[in-house]
């Protein structure tokens, strides 16, 4: 490398250094680290292995005793999860760094991780109900195996159910890293804060957005491109924590590319919303909603 | 790890074990395995290497004789494909497990894999026509190389053409695993059951859904967010196999974010459908379709 | 492998060989290679490490001196980038292959790579402003760290700002490989040719398309599913280089799933465009735009 090149690289490094020092986020003290995205993705994958044994790992489930497979995999999940929760909590409480503070944070991390493990059988039951809903609702689905293996909707729901559990505990960073991992793989963006009932069904799914304060009942079906969003976000951070996304009651179906906005908007139970609708006010229960037959303009093409 | 933690992990494992045993899908007998997703993705990538030599592998095509490169790569593809088809067929026929059954299934797997290899040159010709269509149709495309390297539309079509071939043979799991791999990478969801003609063009592509019983003619162009879907899926599995997605004839262009629904909906040849349209009835040939100029409401913002 | 199988594989290889020889793109002379996608993705990731130290690498930034970390990482980026630019330029100029031509191309590659390094601190400043815009604009964002770690919108903008720099230099292949890498991971498709101002904000993002000749001012916010596209692409390659995508002025907000088309369409400064709009003509400054309240048809569901 020529001297001139070396010099210019050094100059650029100095400039970057100045940019770094203007940003608090790049000043990290010894012992402080950010959670590790790749470790968190590993945790999601280990949980998937134990929720669906035989589907995603190398183990041949014909030869292993499933309960002992579950035990050893749960121990791995516990360890990894405890470490990442600990890191996330320590990073978030930069100013609490006495030995007592750290001990306190470590105790919390242990309790959160263990709580998650204890809840996993219940979460698995929910996810297996989602599998049933996917199979029952999609004429193109060949079997539960196909749903588990291939369906992006199921994967997004699976990750949501895990991330939501950690979100409820108030753990920073990790739930969102998980949900954005699923978003990246599926195009389905479910904020971990949303509350979603049993037998949730998503088909195709690309472009779906379900906001942080959305509530969804049991047995709801949602298709690609559906947004359950906020009416306006002009106030930015001032809206943090405010209910700004819709409520969808039991047994509702929302077809493709429909947008439903607003924290006071409720779609009543058993209603069916046609594709391409734009809804900013509540819909009563037991209603079929569609846009007035869209007038098309047809001209001969010469 | 503390005794308390160990005990709680063991309890959770027992609970998971109970959940497993309530589900037939987790009971696998010796010799039965599910197909392996990572192997199937490998097969897609090997096929891509042989269809586009020099583009995706490490081989320097200036130094290798291309026909012999093709021969050795095809042998790898045959072996891998045969194994996965065998596994998929055996898994699907859990009850046919006499030696004669297994021999019969293995013969079928061999025949299917070989049939695929024999058809690959024909499939490659189709894909090279799709490359031409992408280059001709997109003003931003710089060259065929850029299309092959970068265009998600081309990747989705490539995987569709392969998966469709295996779908026609009636192979379970594998076609859908392939198409969902492409869906995950591109946001383009083409069911392997769809019938698509020559010179197919997709631009941008995110959010496109092409349902299982869709028929598309030659020389058709489709943009991002287009759904070719079913009118209603309320009957779920009862609709399996029924024609429920539209027919798009030759030389049709469908611009971004348009939704076309229904098994009896036909868009006639040479027609052009404007963006954002919602269509649930047939369109004659040689027609330009658009929504009536959408009335916009403009207010001054103070 | 049976003789019959070997023979059929050999036949298929011969057929593939014939297809190859009909395509100029598979004829590569010694010394010519295509750029390597995996190397280009590596370059993007190395740049991300140096722009956000401590976030994506294994280094513990509490123990390293950040300026020297920047220096050594920049040296790696320079080397990798120089090599890929060299390969891309050589491939593109297949006919310029005298020693003088090659020397000339190598000098250019060196100059382009060095120019990029010199500009990186300025690009980093832009990206850090985008981080601020993301945090300020999204009520669900918890911190700058969460934005940098998780937000697909920020990732897409980051890759755009890098790819745009290389696009401006006229480097073939590499900018588009980068932007399609981001598109694949996020569903956000920003052509590297677009011109985008400071403090750009994208939320959720799946399905966004920003065309090659789009101009976007400062402080603009765009939500999922927004297309800034061309009115018609029927003329294909004839439109190459023509301004065919809209202009969005400063402080504009465009809500979800809106489509804005045409090279002469200008959305004036401070305007807010509601979700689901379809716009093909200019909008004055300081305007709130929405579709006329879409009439919904409600029927009781029995």
Burial environment of residue B103 by CB neighbours within 10 A (0 to 12, 13 to 18, 19 or more): exposed
Residue pairs spanning B and C at CB distance below 8 A: 202
Residue C93 phi/psi, 5-degree rounding, is -110, 60
DSSP reduced 3-state for B244: coil
Confidence grade of residue B6 (pLDDT, cut at 50, 70, 90)? very high
Strand ranges of the sheet holding A278-279, from the earlier edge strand across to the other edge = A189-190, A209-210, A227-229, A259-261, A278-279
Size of interface A-C (CB pairs under 8 A): 200
User: Is the CB of A70 less than 8 angstroms away from the CB of B227?
Assistant: no
- How does strand C296-300 pair with strand A287-291? antiparallel
How far off is chain B from A15, nearest CA to CA, in Å? 33
Nearest CB to B25 within list A117, A137, A144: A144
| B9-26 average pLDDT score | 91
Q: Residue C80: which CATH number? A: 1.10.3130.10
Quick check: C31 pLDDT over 70? Answer: no
Domain membership flag for residue C297: no
The total number of structural domains in chain B stands at: 2
Contact list, C141 vs chain A (CB under 8 Å): 237
CB < 8 Å to B209, chain A: 204, 206, 224, 256
The residue in chain C having the minimum alpha-carbon distance to the alpha carbon of residue A269 is: C301
Which of B212, B239, B286 lies at the smallest CB-CB distance from A301? B286
Helix (H) or strand (E) holding C243: none
Rounded to an integer, what distance in angstroms lies between the CA atom of residue C208 and that of residue C259?
10
CB atoms within 10 A of CB C92: 17
pLDDT of the residue at A65: 86
Residue B31, pLDDT score: 66
**Distance of alpha carbon A227 from alpha carbon C226, whole angstroms:** 12
Both B177 and B245 in a single domain? Answer: no
**What single DSSP character describes residue C285?**
S
pLDDT of residue B18: 93
DSSP string for residues in chain A: --HHHHHHHHHHHHHHHHHHHT-GGG---TT-----HHHHHHHHHHHHHHHSTTTSSS--TTTS-HHHHHHHHHHHHHHHHHHHHHHHHHHHTTT--SHHHHHHHHHHHHHHHHHHHHHHHHHHHHHHHHHHHHHHH-TT---HHHHHHH-HHHHHHHHHHHHHHHHHTT--SHHHHHHHHHHHHHS-EE-TT-EE-SS-EEES-TT-EE-TT-EE-SS-EEETT-EEE-S--TTGGGGTTS--S-EE-TT-EE-TT-EEE-TT-EE-TT-EE-TT-EE-S-B-SSEEEEES-PPEEEEE--
- Do B86 and B153 fall into the same domain? yes
Average pLDDT, chain C: 91
**What one-character DSSP code corresponds to residue C238?**
G
Tell me whether strands A296-300 and B287-291 are parallel, antiparallel or unpaired.
antiparallel
Residue B156 burial (C-beta neighbours within 10 Å; 0-12, 13-18, 19+): buried
pLDDT recorded at residue C284: 95
Name the least confident of A144-158, A207-221, C25-39: C25-39
Judgement on whether residues B87 and B62 belong to the same structural domain of the protein: yes
pLDDT at B293: 62
Residue A31: the pLDDT is: 66
pLDDT digits (tens, 9 = 90+) for A90-116: 988 877 778 898 899 999 999 999 999
A203 in the same domain as A236: yes
Among C188, C215, C243, give the residue marking a domain's end: C188
Contact B12 A118 (CB under 8 A): yes
Q: Is residue C49 within 8 Å of C56, Cβ to Cβ? A: yes
Residue C127: pLDDT above 80? yes
What pLDDT is stored for residue C43 in this prediction? Answer: 98
Q: Do A56 and B37 touch (CB under 8 A)?
A: yes
Q: Which of A51, A68, A70, A289 would best serve as a mutation to test chain B binding (most B beta carbons within 10 A)?
A: A70
Tell which wins on pLDDT, B233 or A181: A181
Are A198 and A182 part of one and the same domain?
A: no
* Residue-level pLDDT at C95: 74
Contacts C298 to A, Cβ<8 Å: 283-284, 287-289
Distance CA(C203)–CA(C183), nearest Å, equals: 15
Q: Are A207 and C187 in contact (CB under 8 A)?
A: yes
Q: How far is B34 from chain C (nearest CA, A)?
A: 24
Chain C closest CA to A64's CA: distance in Å?
33
> Within 10 Å of residue C189's Cβ, how many Cβ atoms?
25
For residue range B77-133, what is the model confidence (pLDDT) as tens digits? 999 999 999 999 998 887 777 889 889 999 999 999 999 999 999 999 999 999 999
Could you tell me if A53 and A141 lie in one domain? Answer: yes
Q: Which of B265, B266, B270, B264 is nearest to B286 (CA)?
A: B270
- Domain of residue B116 covers 31-188
Instruction: Using CB atoms within 10 Å of the CB of residue B92, give its burial: 0 to 12 exposed, 13 to 18 middle, 19+ buried.
Output: middle
Query: Measured between alpha carbons, how far apart are the two ends of chain C, in Å?
Result: 63
Q: Do C1 and B291 touch (CB under 8 A)?
A: no
Q: Decide if A227 is inside a domain.
A: yes
Q: Establish, for the pair of chains A and B, how many residue pairs have beta carbons separated by less than 8 Å.
A: 202
Residue C37 within a domain: yes
Q: Which of A188, A223, A250 is the last residue of a domain?
A: A188
* Pairing assessment for the beta strands B209-210 and B227-229 based on DSSP bridges: parallel
Residue from A112, A204, A253 to probe the interface with B (highest B Cβ count within 10 Å): A204
| Distance of residue A235 Cα from the nearest chain C Cα, in angstroms | 8
Distance between CA atoms of residues A267 and C281, nearest Å: 34
State the CATH number of the domain containing residue B216: 2.160.10.10
Q: Do B138 and C236 touch (CB under 8 A)?
A: yes
In angstroms, the CA A197 to CA A223 distance is: 17
A255-296 per-position pLDDT tens digit:
999 999 999 999 999 999 999 899 999 999 999 998 766 677
Answer whether residue A217 shows pLDDT above 90: yes
Same domain, C140 and C205: no
Terminal-residue alpha carbon distance, chain A: 63
CB within 8 Å: B227 and A50: no
Same domain, A156 and A211: no
Q: From edge to edge, which strands make up the β-sheet containing B287-291?
A: A296-300, B287-291, B272-273, B253-254, B221-223, B201-203
Note whether residue C267 is domain-resident.
Answer: yes
Name the minimum distance, in Å, from the CA of C257 to any CA of chain A: 8
Neighbours of chain B (3+ CB pairs under 8 A): A, C
pLDDT for the residue numbered A23? 83
Contact assignment for C114 to A271 by CB distance below 8 Å: no
The pLDDT tens digits of the residues spanning B282-294 come to: 999 999 998 766 6
If asked whether residues C112 and C251 sit together in one domain, one would say no
SS3 B196: strand
- If asked whether residues C61 and C155 sit together in one domain, one would say yes
Mutate to test the interface with B, among C11, C29, C164, C227 (most CBs of B within 10 A): C227
Could you tell me if A231 and A160 lie in one domain?
no
**What whole-number distance in Å separates Cα of residue A101 and Cα of residue B219?**
67
Name the residue facing B224 among C13, C35, C209 (closest C-beta). Answer: C209
| pLDDT tier, C8 (very low <50, low <70, confident <90, very high otherwise) | very high
């Amino acid at each position: 490398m020529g001297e001139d090149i070396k010099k210019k690289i050094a100059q650029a490094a100095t400039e970057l250094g100045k940019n770094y020092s203007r940003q608090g986020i790049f000043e990290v003290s010894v012992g402080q680290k950010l959670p590790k995205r790749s470790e968190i993705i590993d945790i999601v994958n280990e949980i998937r292995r134990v929720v669906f044994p035989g589907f995603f790992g190398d183990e041949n489930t014909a030869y292993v005793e499933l309960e002992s497979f579950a035990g050893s995999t749960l121990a791995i999940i516990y360890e990894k999860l405890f470490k990442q929760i600990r890191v996330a909590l320590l990073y978030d409480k930069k100013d609490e760094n006495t030995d007592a503070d750290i001990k306190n944070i470590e105790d919390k991390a242990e309790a959160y991780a263990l709580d998650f493990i204890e809840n996993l059988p219940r979460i698995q039951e929910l996810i297996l109900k989602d599998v049933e809903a996917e199979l029952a609702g999609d004429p193109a689905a060949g079997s539960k195996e196909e749903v588990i293996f291939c369906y992006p909707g199921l994967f997004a729901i699976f990750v949501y159910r895990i991330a939501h559990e950690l979100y409820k505990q108030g753990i920073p960073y990790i739930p969102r890293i998980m949900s954005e991992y699923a978003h990246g793989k599926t195009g389905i963006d479910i904020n971990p804060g949303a509350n979603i009932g049993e037998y949730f069904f998503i088909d195709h799914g690309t472009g779906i957005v379900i906001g942080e304060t959305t509530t969804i009942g049991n047995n709801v079906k949602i298709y690609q491109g559906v947004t359950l969003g906020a009416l306006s976000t002009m106030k930015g951070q001032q809206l943090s924590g405010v209910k700004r996304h819709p409520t969808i009651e039991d047994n509702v179906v929302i077809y493709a590319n429909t947008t439903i906005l607003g924290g006071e908007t409720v779609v009543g139970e058993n209603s069916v919303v046609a594709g391409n609708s734009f809804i900013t006010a509540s819909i009563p229960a037991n209603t079929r909603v569609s846009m007035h037959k869209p007038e098309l303009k047809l001209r001969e093409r010469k």
